[in-house]
């Protein structure tokens, strides 16, 4: 068995960003227009008017201030309210693969490694652009990696679950190194016309190079352990899939996009995540207060504050548990990886940190790392 490390991570940031003010202005124009269209039904009491959204609510309820997207003009068009993508021909690289390649190249460059040093690629994300061929195979081939690639989806925990798969492959000697790539293009699956969730998500791509510790560059993070947990919940769902056509569904039907019971998720997931992390640390004879940094899933600022308080017994500082969701929004599985990517340079050799995701499924994945 080999010791395993996260060598380096990579990040692709989309070209466009939407502020809360821009988002709310577009939403409120849409709501006004829709209410005007249905004025008679609203007056007759057979339809409820769409209430306006507000910047203050969004910042207070979530901590999100803006989010990156692949295309913003379609999202901000009150007559459309979803991104406008050009259909690419089969001979052109697909959008998910393109951003996957960019993030993967960033990780390889930072690690001083080549495609020839890598034996496999896992594309782990909450949404796949198509059913097949696997996104991972397209990204792997575009990078020139010989070996294998496969896709996996555990919603917001895809990245940590992908790290677990990669760590096991490297630990057993099945691969020298695996790239885990998380192209999270959430904007096409978000119900931008629903004020309860229109502010939540953003697009991004992260990549994680997992390799044998003895091949890893200085400053890599040894993976001390990974731990995964799932338990079924209907509180976060998206029913779109290959059977939608046979069910005569309209892609705009509310359940064909992301929907959730946000308050229930908040209440149920926070204690589960804190308990999961504490017991994972205990397996390694570590205590939560001895952890130098928590790179937590970035869904909601209040959730992270609550989880960190349960672990530390006090309010967490930005140094204990860095926040990136103010800039990126919820980027599904990429959030905890962005937090790690942006905030790991100051961790001293020997110090321990935890990467932890939580989300739909429910799913929770934790990775305990120690700086070399």
Binding site for ligand CO8 (CB under 6 A): 53-54, 57-58, 61-62, 126, 155-156, 186, 189-190, 195-196, 199, 201, 236, 258, 260, 262-263, 265-266, 299-300, 303, 330, 332, 359-360
Q: At what angle do helices 55-62 and 20-37 cross, to 10 degrees?
A: 120
Contacts with 205 (C-beta within 8 Å, 6 or more apart), sequence order: 11, 12, 99, 100, 102, 103, 181, 182, 183, 184, 334
Give me the least distance between CB of 11 and ligand CO8, in Å please: 18
Give me the least distance between CB of 132 and ligand CO8, in Å please: 21
Alpha helices in the chain, H assignment, sequence order: 20-37, 39-44, 55-62, 95-111, 135-143, 158-171, 262-283, 301-312, 325-328, 335-342
DSSP-assigned letter for residue 81: -
Pair type for strands 352-359 and 259-260: unpaired
Cα–Cα dist 104/136, whole Å = 11
Query: Phi-psi bin for 370: left (phi > 0), alpha (psi -120 to 50), beta?
Result: beta
Give me the least distance between CB of 160 and ligand CO8, in Å please: 12
Nearest to ligand CO8 of 226, 330 (CB atom): 330
Catalytic positions are: 156
Q: At what angle do helices 335-342 and 158-171 cross, to 10 degrees?
A: 70
Nearest to ligand CO8 of 80, 105 (CB atom): 80
Sort 262 into a burial class: Cβ within 10 Å, 0-12 / 13-18 / 19+.
middle
Phi, psi at 321, each rounded to 5°: -145, 90
Question: CA dihedral in degrees (258, 262, 264, 265; nearest 10)?
Answer: 70
Give me the least distance between CB of 301 and ligand CO8, in Å please: 9
Cα–Cα dist 303/307, whole Å = 6
| CB neighbourhood size of 130 (10 A) | 11
Residue nearest to ligand CO8 (CB): 359
Give me the least distance between CB of 59 and ligand CO8, in Å please: 10
Nearest to ligand CO8 of 83, 120 (CB atom): 83
Nearest to ligand CO8 of 222, 268 (CB atom): 268
Contact 359, 155 (CB under 8 A): yes
Q: Which of 307, 95, 126 is nearest to 200 (CA)?
A: 126
Nearest to ligand CO8 of 115, 240 (CB atom): 240
Helix (H, G, I), strand (E, B) or coil at 137: helix
Q: Which of 28, 35, 38, 36 is nearest to 76 (CA)?
A: 28
Nearest to ligand CO8 of 63, 149 (CB atom): 63
Give me the least distance between CB of 213 and ligand CO8, in Å please: 31
Nearest to ligand CO8 of 145, 296 (CB atom): 296
Give me the least distance between CB of 243 and ligand CO8, in Å please: 19
């Amino acid at each position: 068995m080999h010791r395993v490390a996260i060598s380096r991570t990579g990040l692709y940031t989309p070209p466009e960003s939407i502020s809360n003010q821009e988002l709310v202005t577009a939403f409120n124009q849409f709501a006004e227009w829709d209410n005007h269209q249905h004025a008679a039904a609203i007056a007759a009491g057979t339809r409820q008017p769409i209430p306006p959204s507000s910047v203050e609510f969004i910042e207070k309820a979530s901590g999100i201030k803006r989010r990156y997207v692949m295309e913003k003009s379609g999202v901000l068009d009150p007559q459309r309210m979803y991104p406008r993508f050009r259909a690419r021909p089969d001979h052109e690289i697909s959008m998910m693969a393109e951003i996957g390649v960019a993030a993967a190249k960033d990780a390889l460059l930072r690690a001083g490694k080549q495609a020839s040093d890598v034996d496999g690629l896992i594309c782990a994300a909450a949404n796949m652009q198509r059913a097949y061929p696997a996104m991972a195979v397209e990204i792997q081939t575009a990078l020139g990696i010989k070996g294998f690639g496969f896709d996996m989806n555990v919603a917001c925990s895809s990245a940590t679950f992908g790290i677990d798969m990669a760590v096991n492959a490297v630990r057993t000697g099945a691969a020298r190194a695996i790239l885990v790539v998380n192209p999270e293009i959430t904007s096409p699956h978000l119900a931008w016309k629903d004020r309860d969730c229109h502010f939540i998500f953003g697009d991004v791509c992260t990549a994680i190079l997992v390799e044998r510790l003895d091949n890893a560059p200085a400053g890599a993070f040894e993976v001390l352990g990974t731990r995964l947990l799932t338990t079924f919940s209907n509180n976060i769902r998206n029913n779109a899939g290959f059977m939608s056509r046979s069910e005569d569904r309209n892609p705009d039907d509310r359940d064909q996009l992301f929907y959730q019971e946000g308050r229930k998720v908040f209440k149920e997931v926070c204690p589960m995540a804190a308990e999961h992390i504490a017991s994972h640390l205990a397996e390694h004879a570590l205590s939560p207060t001895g952890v130098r940094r928590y790179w937590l899933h970035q869904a909601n600022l209040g959730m992270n504050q609550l989880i960190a308080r349960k672990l530390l017994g006090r309010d967490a500082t930005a140094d204990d548990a860095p926040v990136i969701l103010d800039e990126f929004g919820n980027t599904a599985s990429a959030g905890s990886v962005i937090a790690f990517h942006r905030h790991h340079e100051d961790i001293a050799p020997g110090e321990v940190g935890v990467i932890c995701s939580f989300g739909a499924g429910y799913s929770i994945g934790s990775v305990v790392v120690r700086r070399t």
